[in-house]
Amino acid sequence: MIKMLTQRQKTILQAIVRQYTSTGQPVGSKHLAEKLPFKVSSATIRNEMAVLEDHQLIKKEHSSSGRVPSKRGYRYYVDHLLDANALTDNDLVVIQNSLGTSFQKIDEIVSHSADILSDLTSYTAFTLKPEQTDVRLSGFRVVPLGNHKVIAILVTDSGDVESQSFTLPRNFDTDALQAVIRMINDQLVERPLTEVVKRLNDDIPKRIMQYMHGSDGFSDLFDNVVSRAARERFFVGGRLNILGFSNNQDPQALQALYSLIDQNDELSHLLDTGSDDKDVNVRIGSEIAKDQVLKDYSLITASYDVDQYGKGIIAVLGPTRMPYSRTIGIVNAFRQELAKRLLDFYRHYYDS
Q: What is the pLDDT of residue 319?
A: 92
41, with CB counted inside 10 A (0-12, 13-18, 19+), is: exposed
Q: Give, in order, the Cα–Cα distances in Å from 30 to each of 23, 46, 68, 113, 289.
A: 16, 9, 15, 43, 38
- 54 with 113, same domain: the answer is no
- 125 with 242, same domain: the answer is yes
In whole angstroms, give the CA distance from residue 302 to residue 289: 17
Find out whether 61 and 300 touch, Cβ atoms under 8 Å: no
Q: What is the pLDDT of residue 21?
A: 92
Q: Give, in order, the Cα–Cα distances in Å from 159 to each of 154, 156, 221, 277, 331.
A: 10, 6, 21, 30, 27
Q: What is the pLDDT of residue 273?
A: 57
- 127 with 182, same domain: the answer is no
Tens digit of each residue's pLDDT (9 = 90 or more) over 198-255: 777 777 777 776 666 555 566 666 777 776 666 656 889 998 888 777 665 677 777 7
Residue 2 lies in a domain: no
CATH number of the domain where residue 31 is located:
1.10.10.10
- 37 with 148, same domain: the answer is no
Residue 177 lies in a domain: yes
- 59 with 96, same domain: the answer is no
- 108 with 238, same domain: the answer is yes
Interior angle at CA 144, CA 139 and CA 146, nearest 5? 165
> What predicted TM-score, i.e. pTM, was given to this entire model?
0.75
- 156 with 77, same domain: the answer is no
Residue 41 lies in a domain: yes
CATH number of the domain where residue 102 is located:
3.30.450.40
Q: Which of 154, 124, 149, 135 is nearest to 243 (CA)?
A: 124
Q: What is the pLDDT of residue 275?
A: 47
In whole angstroms, give the CA distance from residue 70 to residue 68: 7
Predicted confidence band of residue 277 (pLDDT cuts 50, 70, 90):
low
Instruction: List the end-to-end C-alpha distance of the chain, in Å, as a whole number.
Output: 57
Q: Is 157 helix (H, G, I), strand (E, B) or coil?
A: coil
In whole angstroms, give the CA distance from residue 283 to residue 291: 14
Find out whether 52 and 58 touch, Cβ atoms under 8 Å: yes
Q: Which of 264, 268, 169 is nearest to 220 (CA)?
A: 169
Find out whether 32 and 15 touch, Cβ atoms under 8 Å: yes
Q: Is 101 helix (H, G, I), strand (E, B) or coil?
A: coil
- 106 with 241, same domain: the answer is yes
- 210 with 271, same domain: the answer is no
Instruction: Output the CA torsion sign for 97, 98, 104, 109.
Output: negative
- 216 with 257, same domain: the answer is no
Tens digit of each residue's pLDDT (9 = 90 or more) over 60-101: 877 667 899 999 999 999 999 998 888 888 888 989 888 876
User: Which of 205, 230, 255 is where one domain is finished?
Assistant: 230
Tell me the residue range of the domain where 61 lies: 7-81
Domain total of the chain: 3
Q: What is the mean pLDDT of the chain?
A: 83
**Which range is least confidently modeled, 132-141, 269-278, 325-334, 337-346?**
269-278
In whole angstroms, give the CA distance from residue 249 to residue 54: 31
Percent of the chain with pLDDT over 70: 85
Give yes or no for residue 276 having a pLDDT over 50.
Answer: yes
- 35 with 96, same domain: the answer is no
Residue 178 lies in a domain: yes
**Sheet harboring 124-131: ordered strands across?**
234-237, 124-131, 311-319, 297-305, 280-284
CATH number of the domain where residue 167 is located:
3.30.390.60
- 27 with 127, same domain: the answer is no
Find out whether 345 and 158 touch, Cβ atoms under 8 Å: no
Percent of the chain with pLDDT over 90: 33
